[in-house]
Structure 1
Amino acid sequence: MKHFITICMMVVCSMTANAQQTPIYLDDAKPIEQRIDDAIARMTLQEKIRVIHAQSKFSSAGIPRLGFPDFWTDDGPHGVRPDVLWDEWDQAGQTNDSCVAFPALTCLAATWNPDMSLIYGKSLGEEALYRGKDMILGPGVNINRTPLGGRNFEYMGEDPYLASTMVVPYVQGLQSMGVSACVKHYCLNNDEEYRHQVNVVVSDRALHEIYLPAFKAAVEQGKAWAIMGAYNLYKDEHNCHNQYTLNKILKGDWAFDGVVVSDWGGCHDTDQAVKNGLDMEFGSWTNGLSAGTSNAYDNYFLATPYIIGIQSGKYTTKELDDKVRRVLRLFFRTTMNRNRPHGFLCSESHYEAARRIADEGIVLLQNKGNILPIDRNKAKRILVVGENAIKMMTVGGGSSSLKVQREILPLEGLRQRFGNDVVVDYARGYVGDVSGEYNGVTTGQKLKDNRSESKLIAEAVEKAKNADYVIVVGGLNKSDYQDCEGHDRKQYELPYAQNRLIEALAKTTKRLVYVNISGNAVAMPWKDKVGAIVQAWFIGSEAGNAITDVLTGDANPSGKLPFTWYASLNDCGAHALNTYPGTWRSAKDKSAGFSKIIDEEYKEGVYVGYRWTDKNNIKPTFAFGHGLSYTTFSMSNLRQSAKEMTRDGKLTFTVTVKNTGSKRGAETVQLYIKDIKSSVDRPVKELKGFKKVWLEPGEQKDVDMTIDNNALAYYDETTGTWKSEDGEFDALVGNASDNIMLKSRFMLK
């Protein structure tokens, strides 16, 4: 009630202040840029400042006098976050802000299907519209550099080409609904530990070849309306106000015409914010993150301090007018867009979309003896083991935590599918995080179990003796130091004595299936003792149904890994070279409030993921692009449209794909390019094309993949430009980075 009265008083005061003014309406028949010019000419200094910083936790002010409504953001990227109070993180207590939780972006990337990205973006946009949101804070496209990265589950894997291809339709689908994407976290936000203090040291070549392409694609191809700056530093400047990444690259080289939004609390200095590319400052309390006053938002770096700087002559209005122009352009694309479609919340079409994406993104990693799909003739009794089979995963993980209308759990999905025909028993197996709460949203689950590890394992083993199939649903969860914002994982191994549990069950049954719930790879020392391994990600509202679809064969798995699954951390370049998490030093500029900075040098350069394992002849547990099916495929007859290619030309490769098995399924044809001889050190091969094709048993299709000079170029640090060199290249075609089936050679001239 207190908050309601406060808001009402604010509204009354605003109405009183404007009561003596005649409302001004801008001519909406004019082109947008002319309307922006008109608005800027009419705005006071206070109104200009008003629109470039937050007025509440998730909103910024409009201009009532000119007819611009307030602008509302909300967290994504997997669903629309529940509403909080005006200036508190506590829940607003609404009953109409539940949502559909879509699969995490690692799962979306694992579909290797841009059509799924488009469906994802449109569905999320519809939910956002219904909830009155004008911007969703997502998608995330930071590169998976280390499997310990706490926020990897929100991103699209390790490869810049895959992430670039998948992010564009997501942005287009979301913005087709009149809701702005806010692509994050730009840039080099590749781990979470000490994220406010990490200063990334990286070569220009690695920056442009590995860490920027997905952001560039989102801007140049997806036409993203907003970009969110990252917490970390680059060249000793915070990335929410960074002269090099924002002014030079984003707004200069890429001609970005949208808005740069600070991550919440990512702005640290008025002078840098004014000059180094930040357009809208968001956060919490006075300094954007911690300390507070009664008029917190007026004290933001881009609020009263900025006005004082202009009035004192320290700043001109040149930078301000550019910021305002960008913000008004965002308004006209969203809140002032009279052609915005209608929104829908928790519709069956959204649940269907979530399930389709999950079905296509789940990866069958291993299937010895074709233990899967479950043979219903042999499955009279199934034992499900593991906390993750009964634990809600939509709550937790940081800002992507959601309040869902429903979440089907794995145990529930299996029991519903088999009904009374099969006994589906359960054993806890291990106890992990039983809290079930994040930011005021509670699961309502009572998961507390005080039994010892030995007793839990003993119960599972005893029940397994009488089961036809044993399905362990384990992995990580979205607690601190697992897959969660704010911290990285402390270990590569599975937590909660799960290895001990799996080893014990492997001695008891040959029909052992391990379903891993996570956004990251984990160590699997027991891999060869387990029949089948399924990577099921965090897949949201339809988790139980989708996992059951794959285990039973109702959906033929077609997902492919978007990252390399290392056998150990030392197989990853960032850890092999001891560059993670970095080295502490005193901060040069202490205006951000940090006396120490940690330099994290990316010594592996462009050799991230499969590029590193290829270079060093390391055999991963599962390779980038790997994923099995319940049917089989052949690839043959690789041909190319020409033997030579010019720099302004294109080259098309065609391969025949045939379903040689007995079930309908999908194969993803992957095209890698190898530079035979180069003046610089280059990876053994790099992904430059892929296409997913669905085939009936016995059916075959020709698949085309076209490249241009961009697929052959590297970033030349001496000239600061992209460069390709005359000579021979190999086109390598397969269904995983470690399973190349076909090869052809061509010349660049």
Structure 2
Amino acid sequence: MKRLLLPALLLFALGPTGARGQQTAPLYLQQDAPIEERVEDALQRLTLEEKVALCHAQSKFSSPGVARLGIPELKMSDGPHGVRAEIEWNSWRHAGWTNDSITAFPALTALAATWNPRMAALYGRAIGEEARYRGKDVLLGPGVNIYRTPLNGRNFEYMGEDPCLAGAMAVPYIRALQKNGVAACVKHFALNNQEQWRTSVDVVVSERALRELYLPAFHRAVVDGGVWSIMGSYNRYLGQHCCHNSALLNDILRGEWGFDGCVISDWGGTHDTREAALNGLDIEMGTHTDGLTTESRSGYDAYYLAQPYLELLRSGELPLETVDEKARRILRLIFRTAMNPRRPWGSLCSEEHYAAAKAIGDESIVLLRNNGILPLETDRYERILVVGDNATRRLTDGGGSSELKTKRTISPLEALKTLYGDKIRYAQGYTCGNPLYGKVEEVPAATMDSLRSEAVALARTADVVIYVGGLNKNAYQDCESTDRRSYDLPFGQNELIEALAEANPNLVVVNITGNAYAMPWVDRVPAILHASYLGSMGGLSIADVLSGRVNPSGKLPYSIPVRLSDCAAHASGDASNYPGIKPEGISMKKAPDAPADSRAYPQVTYAEDILVGYRWHDTRRIPALFPFGHGLSYTTFSYGRPEVSAAKMGPGERLEIRVPVTNEGSRDGMEVVQLYVGDDKCSVLRPLKELKHFRKLFIEAGGSAEAEFTLTEDDLKFFDEQSHGWVAEEGTFTLYIGSSSTDIRQKVKFRYTD
């Protein structure tokens, strides 16, 4: 009620007198007036001090409005897998509320594994309703950074190694979320591809790789998704921190793409008042912290865009136009969200939201391998042993800012017991101890040996063994601020899986992880399921896929190399490619605030250039263990001959492509038809092929459907650094149509003529 009364009271203080002496609201309060007119009206009413106040935090997760004018604050929350529990006003401790439990949705790497934009829209709508109900104006997500190395601890928050897939999934998420009057905040712009040295590392990358790989998903979020805010990344590019990076924010984001929303710093990502003022940052958050655990020792007035900024504006050392532009964009965001009278009320932990989480989880699970042991029908086995810490662990805990406080979470073991009843027995098999953020406890060898021996002994007496392991959300695994230390599964899991396979040939491995990992036991295991963090309903999704109630349809959003050295970022073994080189004799604690030209910070070089993920495996002929786009089903699909509208195309023309697909099995199922394009001969190095379109089809048993695609000249272009533009060269191109990046079912050639 308070929020509704305040503007009415302002009518007497601010409103002009209308006909017959009646008061009319100031333009900025007139809800039906165009937003741009309201923004300009409000802007001219603000004092300089009020404009500056808009530009920085007032608490850990809010920035101020203008109380004098009835303009509310902006309330933000971490995402993007759920709305984070309430944090205290000025500390990182939980506030201890009892009404902030939420639905945990699958991690974004799981959403990407659905390859289904309809699931992305469902996700965005549901999480937007929860954010709205919780009173949030900005949800800090989705993340669309490209998967460059499987050691990146934050890959689970992103959507894989391909910009086409990430962009196609981000757009419906953003649109559906923002229909709730809650701004998406796409992150982290840009080149945040590792957590080690994340606040200071300078990324050296070609402009071509930047444009072709690392920016397209952000571009789609802005141009097609209409996103209202973007978060800058911690790292540097061209020696400048990305939260106030002139090339990224001024030249590309605003200059080329026309972004009219707010740029929000990552928490603790701002380092300089002048750069922040001049280089495109609008709202500064979390300064004087590390973004996670360190408490601020300075008040919010000490932020770079607070009192120091105000003093430079007053003295004339910085132009007033800079703060006007920031205030204009922040007001626009407030009118789109906190002062949007048409946004719905939202809802929290509804059955519809649990159903959405379950549906997304169902479609995300990837069946990597199956010799026929799956599905495990409920009447097929009498003695079923479940092994593994992840069968019972709450995987919504930990991970840094993605931690979630859930009202309801169903574990794999709980779901399997519900499905199979007293046929289920459980052995933990391994333990990770009690790792804290940034600290890992060593588990005594005797403890690990005892757990392994117990599980192996029980496996010998079981009809089938279901292993549920993988990574978790603790430090040095899938976790913000730390990268993984090894490509192997931790806690002796490889040895445990080997021992279980020796004890019982009927072994099904279910690994829950937001990353690829080594599988030295792959040939000894008859079935492997690859799941990401699936949220509240994750256990049900895993149980239903194992039992056959759900026919798996997930596809890998990233390649799984045989070994780490098969990954492009690690192929040379040179530390300059990952994690980078730290200058000798330099304290990393001082590096973030060092002058841009001092070189007093680590530097990482993307030597693989445009060949990331399947582009590397294809072009360098280094087979992945499981390729990008791979995923099996309990049925089989055949592809018919494609129909292509023409044998050639030119500028402004299109090719229409239709691909018939038949479900030849006895189960209904879904298939992802993937369309890659290869330039047969080019003046520059290009990947063998690149994903350009995909369609997910539901096909009944014995039925058929068609995947339809429209190819334009933009799908043929590469970024030419000499002309600083996008170029499609004349010549022959090949369409590769298949079920994965390597399972190509049909090829069609056509000619492009300029």
TM-score band w.r.t. shorter chain:
over 0.9
The one of 218, 222, 239 equivalent to 2:221 is: 218
Corresponding letter in the other structure for 1:22: A
Quick one: which of 373, 379, 401 aligns to 1:377? 379
Matches within 5 A, 1:67-86: 67-86=70-89
Relative distance call for 1:290 and 1:48 in structure 2 (3 A) is farther
Measured after TM superposition, the shift of residue 21 of structure 1 is 9.5
**Residue 315 (structure 1) shift:** 1.1
What's the offset of the Cα at 1:541? Answer: 0.5
What SS does structure 1 have at the residue aligned with 2:504?
A: coil
Q: Deviation of residue 589 (structure 1)?
A: 6.8
Q: Aligned runs of 1:535-550 on 2, under 5 Å? A: 535-550=530-545
Instruction: Mark the CA change 1:451 to 1:554 in structure 2 (over 3 Å): closer, same or farther.
Output: farther
Q: Note the alpha carbon deviations across 1:57-110, whole angstroms, 9 max, x for none.
A: 000111122221111000001000000111011111110000000000000000
1:392 equivalent among 383, 394, 402: 394
CA positional deviation for 1:433:
3.9
Q: Deviation at 1:393?
A: 0.4
1:187–1:239 contact (8 Å) kept in structure 2:
yes
Partner residue of 2:505 out of 499, 505, 510: 510
- Are the structure 2 counterparts of residues 634 and 486 from structure 1 closer, same or farther at C-alpha, using a change threshold of 3 Å? same
Aligned pair partner of 1:95 in 98, 101, 118: 98
Q: Which amino acid aligns with 1:405?
A: K
RMSD after superposition: 2.2
Equivalent residues in 2 for 1:465-476 (5 A)?
A: 465-476=460-471
Matched, 1:109 2:96: no
> Deviation per CA, 1:389-412, whole angstroms, max 9, x where unpaired?
111000100100010001111101
| Residue 454 (structure 1) shift | 2.0
CA displacement at 1:450 relative to structure 2: 8.9
In the other structure, the counterpart of 1:410 is: 412
- Provide the C-alpha distance between the structure 1 equivalents of 2:11 and 2:34, rounded to a whole number of angstroms: 30
Which of the numbers 612, 625, 643 marks the counterpart of 2:629? 625
Which residue, 22, 36, 42 being the options, matches 2:13? 22
Work out the CA distance in 2 between the residues paired with 1:218 and 1:20.
38
Q: In the TM superposition, what are the counterparts of 1:304-453 in structure 2 within 5 Å? A: 304-368=307-371, 370-420=372-422, 423-434=423-434, 452-453=447-448
Within a 5 Å distance, the mapping from 1:99-498 to structure 2 comes to 99-285=102-288, 296-368=299-371, 370-420=372-422, 423-434=423-434, 452-498=447-493
Which residues of 2 match residues 515-534 of structure 1 at below 5 A? 515-534=510-529
Q: Which runs of 5+ in 1 are unaligned?
A: 1-10, 440-447
Give the whole-Å Cα distance in 1 for the aligned partners of 2:77 and 2:399.
16
Instruction: Give the Cα–Cα distance (whole angstroms) in 1 for the partners of residues 111 and 294 of structure 2.
Output: 38
TM-fit CA distance, 1:453:
2.1
Secondary structure of the residue aligned to 2:481 is coil
Specify the SS of the correspondent of 2:13.
Answer: coil
Aligned residues: 723
Q: Aligned AA for 2:431? A: V
**1:26 to partner: Cα distance:** 2.9
1:567-617 CA-partner distances (Å, limit 9, x unpaired): 001101110122111112366971599983111000000000000011111
Cα distance, 1:338 vs structure 2: 0.6
Q: Does the alignment pair 1:60 with 2:51?
A: no
C-alpha contact (below 8 Å) 1:267/1:288 kept by paired residues: no
The counterpart of 1:37, out of the listed 40, 48, 54, is 40
Q: Which amino acid aligns with 1:486?
A: S
Q: Identity of paired residues, percent?
A: 52
In the alignment, the residues of structure 1 paired with residue 370 and residue 722 of structure 2 have an alpha-carbon distance, to the nearest angstrom, of: 48
Whether 1:572 aligns to 2:570 is no
Give per-residue Cα distances to partners, 1:665-713, cap 9 Å, x unaligned: 0000000001011111100000011000001110001211111111100
1:694 alignment partner AA: F
Counterpart secondary structure, 1:730: strand
Q: Give, as a single letter, the amino acid of the residue that structure 1 aligns with 2:376.
A: I
SS of residue paired to 1:541: helix
Q: Match of 2:318, SS? A: coil
Q: Which residue of 1 aligns with 2:19?
A: none
Partner of 1:726: 730
Q: Report SS of the residue matched to 2:640.
A: strand
Q: Is the 8 A contact 2:388 2:430 kept in 1?
A: yes
The answer on whether the counterparts of 1:639 and 1:744 sit within 8 Å (CA) in structure 2 is no
> Cα 1:353–1:589, aligned 2, differ >3 Å: closer, same or farther?
closer
Alignment of 1:600-611 (within 5 A): 600-611=604-615
Three-state SS of the structure 2 residue aligned to 1:42 is coil
What secondary structure is seen at the aligned counterpart in 1 of 2:416?
helix
3-state DSSP class of the match of 2:486? coil
CA 1:19 to 1:731, structure 2 compared with 1: closer, same or farther past 3 Å? closer
Give the secondary structure class of the aligned counterpart of 1:729.
strand
CA shift, 1:378, in A, is 2.3
Matched, 1:696 2:700: yes
Partner of 1:8: none
Does the residue aligned with 1:74 lie in a helix, a strand or coil?
strand
User: Can you list the C-alpha shifts for 1:487-543, whole angstroms capped at 9, x where unaligned?
Assistant: 100000011111111111111112100001100011000000001000111111011
Q: What secondary structure is seen at the aligned counterpart in 2 of 1:123?
A: helix
User: How many Å separate the matches in 2 of 1:226 and 1:172?
Assistant: 13
> 2:718 and 2:402 mapped to 1: Cα distance?
35
SS of corresponding position for 2:271: coil
Shift in alpha-carbon separation, 1:221–1:527, aligned structure 2, 3 A: same
**Equivalent position amino acid for 1:471 in 2:** I
Query: Partner residue of 1:661?
Result: 665
Per-residue deviation at 1:376? 2.7
TM-score computed with the length of structure 1 as normaliser? 0.94
**Secondary structure at 1:388's aligned position in 2?**
helix
* More off after superposition, 505-514 vs 585-594: 585-594
1:584 match: secondary structure: coil
1:582 to 575, 580, 583: 580
Following the alignment from structure 1 to structure 2, what is the Cα–Cα distance between the partners of residues 563 and 494?
17
TM-score (norm 2): 0.93
Distance 1:620 1:287, change over 3 A: closer
**One-letter code aligned to 1:252:** G
Deviations 1:649-668 (A, max 9, x none): 11111111000001000000
What is residue 614 of structure 1 aligned with on the other side?
Answer: 618
1:162 partner SS: helix
Cα gap change, 1:568/1:290 in structure 2, threshold over 3 Å: closer, same or farther? closer
